[in-house]
Structure 1
Amino acid sequence: MNDSQYEAIFWDIGGVILDLESVRAGHRSFVGALAEEHDLDMEKALATWREELGTHFTTRDGTEFRSARVGYQRAVAAMVGRELPEEEWLPVFERATHENLEPVSETVVAIRRLDGHVHQGVVSDIDTWEGERLLEQFGVREHLNAVTTSEEVGRTKPDPAMFETALDKAGIDPARALMVGDRYENDMEGAARMGIDTAAFGGSASEADPDDPTVTYRIEDPFEICDLVGVERDG
């Protein structure tokens, strides 16, 4: 294993493993394909898609899990004006996202380098099917020891249940774990409240006050996680 204080690294997906701009590109491609098929105005359809998804997630009760897949179904119905069977829109969605989704390449390489040196898990507010699909697409699933999703737990970060589940899978004390995330409240505060050290990588997490003890490290490059664990970046 390694000689550092950390025995487990927990990675967020969106903004850490997955490039968020590529998500927007994938959704736009999907909406465009659906708009063409159903003779819809592209920009109006895209606005409806975004509004419906926003409502789907923002109206949930606290940290309860809400399925993105259900949200997609509702957004499709709002765009087209009627319910569409999943078999009519899901293959189009999967094709559009597969063609557009891009990883944060440095994170992918870091995960591969850390394989075998430390327990690696994902802790993400994502549907299990979607998370597993993109981790396989990026070639990192085989290098991860565990994946903890909000669909599995039934809650979203910063709910303690998310981190408790990940810790149980790793079988370690919180003080021996490090959470890498881009969202301050969900990743930094959520993990810190559980006694897990945190590494802020972009997003609102990196905008925290420099003296904020909630953020243990601020990193600009995922390879810095290799340094913290004592693993060579190359080789």
Structure 2
Amino acid sequence: MFDFSGTLFRIEPCERWLAGALAAEGFEADDVDIAKYAGELERVGAQPGGVMPDAPPADLAELWESRDLTAERHRAAYTALSRSAGLPWDVHDALYERHRTPAAWQPYPDTAQVLARLHERGVPVAVVSNIGWDLRPIFRVHGVADHVDAFVLSYEHEVQKPDPRLFRVALDALGITGADVREAVMVGDSPAADGGAAALGCRVLLVDPLPVERRPDALLPVLDLPGGKEGAH
């Protein structure tokens, strides 16, 4: 099982995210303003998959904690944070739409290799993500969808990590039951969220959600785990 954001894929830099949304809406802005307001968006944690807020505004606390349970909550939480950044342009919906596009995401350098090798070995793979939208098109456009057997997305089940029920959905989708659960591995970047798989007896492997150019091969150790070897199920 793999997490999505910060594990298999990384969101684009915040300045490029903002510039893309501005261009889509027909706004003109110079590099200085883009850098300035991208910094504000990062400060408040408004970019999904980007820097997390230290603490959301008090009036958004409940919405923030449950943002991945439904598509509506996810959009409302992130557009509210972008509105708190003081942007001089009304591009909050455009920013949200931008982050859902394949152009906004880049796979880590070893993502395709690891997923392909596991697929070749007959090792079933699920993507388990706290998210408010369908990420399957991201995998299709980047050419790795055929290497994933199941997508288990929090908003589709109204359950979010670290709740063990979401991992149980993934294990069931992969046909992993009983003692075989001990051979399952959850690969993610969040001890708090992805570590929830340990409650079911799964092993947990954590990677650092660095920019793609700074993390070329952190996923490769998965191929040497017992669950990642040829013929393992």
Q: Is the 8 A contact 1:111 1:140 kept in 2?
A: yes
Shift of 1:15: 1.5
Partner residue, 1:60:
63
Shift of 1:91: 9.7
Partner residue, 1:5:
none
Q: Which amino acid aligns with 1:107?
A: T
Shift of 1:46: 3.1
| Distance in 1, Cα, partners of 2:110 & 2:205 | 15
1:151 matched to 2:148? The reply is: no
| Distance in 1, Cα, partners of 2:144 & 2:41 | 30
| Distance in 2, Cα, partners of 1:70 & 1:64 | 8
Give runs of aligned pairs for residues 71-150 of structure 1, distance below 5 A.
71-74=77-80, 79=87, 89=94, 93=98, 98-116=102-120, 117-129=122-134, 131-150=135-154
1:194 matched to 2:200? The reply is: yes
- Residue deviations 1:159-199 (CA, integer Å, cap 9, x gap): 112111111211212223111111111112x1111211111
**Residue segments in structure 2 that go unaligned for 5+ positions in a row:** 47-52, 211-216
Partner residue, 1:29:
19
- Residue deviations 1:108-162 (CA, integer Å, cap 9, x gap): 2110111151110001112232x11221222111111100111112132111121
Q: Is the 8 A contact 2:123 2:230 kept in 1?
A: no
| Distance in 1, Cα, partners of 2:204 & 2:114 | 17
Q: TM-score, normalised by structure 1?
A: 0.68
| Distance in 2, Cα, partners of 1:64 & 1:99 | 23
**Residue segments in structure 1 that go unaligned for 5+ positions in a row:** 1-9, 205-219
Q: TM-score, normalised by structure 2?
A: 0.68
Q: Is the 8 A contact 2:2 2:188 kept in 1?
A: yes
SS of the residue 2:5 aligns to: coil
Shift of 1:223: 2.3
Identity %: 23
| Distance in 2, Cα, partners of 1:75 & 1:185 | 22
1:180 matched to 2:187? The reply is: yes
Partner residue, 1:69:
75
Q: Is the 8 A contact 1:63 1:155 kept in 2?
A: no
| Distance in 1, Cα, partners of 2:25 & 2:40 | 11
| Distance in 1, Cα, partners of 2:90 & 2:96 | 18
Give the alignment partner of residue 226 of structure 1, picking from 181, 200, 223.
223
SS of the residue 2:76 aligns to: helix
SS of the residue 1:11 aligns to: coil
Partner residue, 1:12:
3
Give the alignment partner of residue 171 of structure 1, picking from 172, 175, 182.
175
SS of the residue 2:63 aligns to: coil
SS of the residue 2:125 aligns to: strand
Shift of 1:73: 4.3
Count of residues in Structure 1 that have an aligned counterpart in Structure 2: 201
